[in-house]
Amino acid sequence: MGLTQAEFREAMGCFATGVTIVTVDLNGEIHGMTANAFASVSLAPLLVLVCVDRTARTHAHLHAKKRFGVNVLAENQRPISEYYARLESSQERADAEAGARFDRTAHGTPMLHGSLAYLECRLQSTQEAGDHTIFIAEVEDVVVRQGQPLLFFRGKYREIGEEVTGTQ
Ligand SMILES: Cc1cc2nc3c(=O)[nH]c(=O)nc-3n(C[C@H](O)[C@H](O)[C@H](O)COP(=O)(O)O)c2cc1C
């Protein structure tokens, strides 16, 4: 069919998503990565997945730690998404540059202040898939807050619109 990566990306960009920061504790240091390839997988047990590029630093960190957090961003957290999508993002400047501050969960996993939801994840299995790896994890705990989400659609950040109501 001769489908190009650009055409694939354009089609996938039509699938509007939320935005998350995947967080890992590295012996006291906080590592974060912006990810929207995140999905619910199973209710029994409670499973989610996140797809991570094999070249991302986070890829090695998830394999090593086998525990991570998924922080669902609120609409005012775009700078945090941009910060953790950068190649050279580091914890030292996260607060000053993007306003990213963290608490620690009982497991020591970094939990981002102000996110809409937090999921505490324990790695269950991995599946190699082309240039990414699918990390499937059991969700051990969640925190949910009020607020509106940050969205990603056609390569741009968006805010949510009005609820669709009424009859057909
Ligand atoms: C909105 C958005 C969504 C992204 N989603 C993913 C994703 O699901 N998986 C992934 O591997 N990279 C994703 N990225 C790219 C990573 O955030 C980026 O490559 C980052 O620099 C990797 O960080 P690390 O090397 O510190 O792990 C996304 C970037 C943006 C802006």
Residue 28 lies in a domain: yes
The best mutation among 9, 19, 26, 33 to test binding of ligand 1, ranked by most ligand atoms within 8 Å of the C-beta, falls on: 33
> What per-residue confidence (pLDDT) applies to 131?
98
What is the 58 CA–ligand 1 centroid distance (Å)? 9
Distance CA 81, CA 24 (A): 16
> What per-residue confidence (pLDDT) applies to 110?
98
Residue 70 lies in a domain: yes
Residue 91 lies in a domain: yes
User: What are the pLDDT digits (tens) for 38-52?
Assistant: 999 999 999 999 999
Specify the CATH number for the domain of residue 124.
2.30.110.10
- Buried-state track 60-72, b at ≥16 Cβ within 10 A, e below 16: ebbeebebbbbbb
> What per-residue confidence (pLDDT) applies to 168?
63
Query: What's the total number of domains in the chain?
Result: 1
Lookup: tokens for 133: 């790896």
Residue 12 lies in a domain: no
Q: Is the dihedral of CA 112, 81, 37, 92 positive or negative?
A: negative
Q: Could you list the pLDDT tens digit for every one of the 168 residues in the chain?
A: 799 999 999 999 999 999 999 999 999 999 999 999 999 999 999 999 999 999 999 999 999 999 999 999 999 999 999 999 998 888 889 999 999 999 999 999 999 999 999 999 999 999 999 999 999 999 999 999 999 999 999 999 999 999 998 876
Distance CA 88, CA 119 (A): 25
Q: Which domain holds residue 94?
A: 17-155
The 3-class SS string of 11-75 reads: HHCCCCEECEEEEEEECCEEEEEEECCEEEEECCCCEEEEEEECCCHHHHHHHHHCEEEEEECEH
Q: Are 160 and 76 in contact (CB under 8 A)?
A: no
Residue 163 lies in a domain: no
Residue 148 lies in a domain: yes
Indicate the pairing of strand 110-112 with strand 47-53.
unpaired
Q: Which atom of ligand 1 is nearest to the CA of 86?
A: 21
Residue 34 lies in a domain: yes
What is the 160 CA–ligand 1 centroid distance (Å)? 22
What is the 158 CA–ligand 1 centroid distance (Å)? 17
Return the residue whose CA atom lies nearest to atom 7 of ligand 1: 35
What is the 165 CA–ligand 1 centroid distance (Å)? 34
